[in-house]
Structures are given as structure tokens and as C-alpha cells.
Structure 1
Amino acid sequence: MINTENAVVLLIDIQGKLAQKVVGSEELHQKVAQLVRGCEHFDVPVVWVEQLPEKLGATTSALADLMPNNTPVAKHTFSAFAEPRVAQTLRSLNRKQVILCGIETHICVYQTACDLLRHHYHVHLVTDGMSSCHPAHHQSGIAMMQQHGAWITVVEALLFEWQQHAGGSDFKAFLSLIK
């Protein structure tokens, strides 16, 4: 079970023109935005990375605008965890459940997942919050990460897992996240 006290979301490389070229870009943005709003609601930290932002561009404004008090970490490695600032941030948060979303599934998300698993993190893939330029690459990336031990989820299932209870004023606020 993924719990809010032990979870952190790692948002990977949803930036520049590539973010518009991946399969299902619009749905990807909607699902990741929903996840980011859920993180705010449940007080789950988001670590946000950008691959070579000086060359590939910044995170799309639709997502960056949801995190005005958060700053992305620039990386030059495919694995986000291989970037020392990201690894240090995750260690300092002392949360062992890392929820991955971003692009491309079979490259940066995959390499990040493998590194996290080797360092004994529990990796959860938000499969509707990640994509690649080719559908087969996305599906293969998910399968490869699963073979290494990553768990699969989707945004709505994750948010309901965090909510746990139906009812009360908190539930009404939660419902606004999933509609």
C-alpha cells in the first residue's frame, strides 16, 4: 500500500517540444496535473526534474504553473537518480515509496526506476502519467520496469488509495481532484 507519509512523486522531463510529441500528450498532461494537485492535497512532496533544459526547454507551463513554490532540478543523465541533487533530495525526504511519472517511459523513466530499485526504493509507476513517442516503447518500458520489480498504478487508483475514506468535508475536497 502506498501511504502519504512514505511517498514522494518524481516528475521526469515533461518539457519542451518532446512533451507535445509523445503519444497522448493532452491526456498525459491532464493526468500528471491531477497527480500534482493530489500531492498538494495530501501533502506529498514532488521532486521535479528536467533533462538538459537549456537545450530541450522547460517543463510545460501547464505543469510548472501548478508548482510555483517548487524548482526543477536540471539533469544531464538519463536516470534522474543519477543526478546527485535528486538522490540527495530523496535521501533527505526519507521516503521509500517513489512514484514515477514523466517521459520517455523506456528511457529516462526506465533508467530512473532501475537505479531507485537498486537503492532499495519501492517504485510505483503511474502508467497513465507517462508516455513515449511510440506506443510500443511506452508499453515495453513499463514491462521492463515491472520485470525489475516496479509496481503499476494509475492516477485515480493512487489518489483513492491515499484518500482511504468516503465522507466528510475532506472527501468533498478530494472529489474535486478526480472530476
Structure 2
Amino acid sequence: MLLDIAQSLLVVVDVQERLLPAMSAPGAVRAQLAILTRGASILGAPVLASEQYPRGIGPTVEDLRPHIPAKDIIEKNSFSCLACAPFVERLGAFDRTQVVLSGIEAHVCVLQTALDLRARDVEVFVVADATGSRTARNHRLGIARMRQAGCRIVSVEMVLFEWLRTSASEKFKQISALIK
């Protein structure tokens, strides 16, 4: 099953200023998330983000914020985004059947969100290179468990080119420039 931009929503989980530096490869995760959110913006895919206890962990990292409407950054305290009523309400407003899931940590908040989405029969595409954990081992385990739960594991480039569908698109050059 291909990603369909008309049915997709990008979800960015807890990529926050004081949390991201603790990940095992923070620079790589941040770079891939920047490409993914910029690409979503160029192609018109909606983006919804969560912030875990932002008073303590800080806001979403600065370079992602321009690509996420302020009303679509939802504060939460639960690990799963779907245990947060305002997040669920906003998610439902988009009326999408596919969630492209990214963020941190892969084995905690991303995992629990993915499992809850799957329980609601949502197609979940986990962007492996745009997720992170404090250790590489936990990242691998989180990705493996999400795969076992029926999530599709993808990369940033896979998402962008499936959304794009053709090099004849007027947006092709902009997307290609992002990944070079």
C-alpha cells in the first residue's frame, strides 16, 4: 500500500529542545525531521505534533516549528498521544486514514502512539530515520515491535517520493533539493 498524500497526516512526537540532545543520534534525527516537515509543508500534508510536559522538557525544536501550525502542537503528559483528549480531537479533525509517525522516543511515546493508532485500524507508517531513542538498541527494539504490530517501516525519502508520486510534479525539484 502506497502512502496517499490526500489520506496522510504527519505526526511528530515530542521532538523537544531538552529531550532531543539525549538521543543516540540527535543530529541525524533532527536533520531527517527537518527534511520531513519541510517536505510535508511543500506538498501540503498536514502536520500534528505533541509536546511531553513542555514546561520541563521545553518546546518543539525551533527549526521544526515553522512547518507546524501552533494550534497543531498539543501538550500532553501521557506517553501515547492517543491518551490525550485534545490530541485525539485534533487528530479526528483531519479525517485521515494514514498516519506517518516520527519523533522520540521510538520505544516509548512513538511506540505507544503507534500501538494505539493500530488498535483504531489506522494505517501507520513509522519513519525509522526520523525517530530516535536514547540508545540504538532501544530504537531497534521499538521499530521491531511496531513492525510486529502491523506498522509499515519507511524512510523520509520513501515518504516524500510516495507523496510526490511523479517527477512531472511541479514540486519535484523542491523535494529533490531537500534530500541532496
What's the TM-score, normalizing by structure 1?
Answer: 0.94
Distance 1:151 1:140 in 2: 15
The secondary structure found in structure 1 opposite 2:75 is strand
Counterpart residue identity of residue 140, structure 1 = L
Q: Please name the residue that 1:90 is paired with.
A: 91
Q: Distance in 1 between matches of 2:35 and 2:29?
A: 10
Listed as ranges, the matches of 1:28-67 within 5 Å are: 28-67=29-68
Residue of structure 2 equivalent to 1:119: 120
Distance 2:159 2:8 in 1: 11
Does structure 1 residue 132 correspond to structure 2 residue 133? yes
Residue in 1 that maps onto 2:167? 166
Residue in structure 2 matched with residue 74 of structure 1 by the alignment: 75
C-alpha spacing 1:77/1:168, structure 2 compared with 1 (3 Å): closer
Asked if the contact 2:72/2:90 (under 8 Å) is kept, the reply is: no
2:143 corresponding residue in structure 1: 142
Say whether the 8 Å CA contact 2:79–2:112 is kept in structure 1: yes
Distance 1:168 1:130, change over 3 A: closer
Deviations 1:63-109 (A, max 9, x none): 22443655411001000111111111111111010011000000000
User: Residue 58 and residue 124 in structure 1: after superposition, are their counterparts in 2 closer, same or farther (change >3 A)?
Assistant: same
1:1-47 Cα deviation digits (max 9, x unpaired):
11100000110001132201101111111100111011111111000
In the alignment, the residues of structure 2 paired with residue 91 and residue 66 of structure 1 have an alpha-carbon distance, to the nearest angstrom, of 20
Q: Which runs of 5+ in 2 are unaligned?
A: none
**CA 1:101/1:58 → structure 2, altered by over 3 Å: closer, same or farther?**
same
Over residues 96-123 of structure 1, what are the superposed CA-to-partner deviations in whole Å (9 max), with x where a residue is unaligned? Answer: 1001100000000000001001011111
Give the direction of change, closer, same or farther, for the CA distance of 1:68–1:119 in structure 2 (3 Å limit): closer
User: What is the aligned-residue identity percentage?
Assistant: 33
User: Greater CA deviation, 63-72 or 85-94?
Assistant: 63-72
Inter-partner Cα distance in structure 2 for 1:149 and 1:119? 12
What SS class does the counterpart of residue 40 from structure 2 fall into? helix
Give the distance between the partners of 1:27 and 1:87, measured in 2 at CA. Answer: 29
Of stretches 26-35 and 169-178 in structure 1, the one that deviates more from structure 2 is: 169-178
Q: State the number of aligned residues.
A: 179
Per mean C-alpha deviation after superposition, the further-off stretch among 130-139 and 55-64 is 55-64
Structure 1 residue runs without a partner (length 5+):
none
Structure 2 CA distance, aligned partners of 1:147 and 1:68?
32
Distance 1:168 1:113, change over 3 A: closer
The answer as to 2:70 corresponding to 1:99 is no
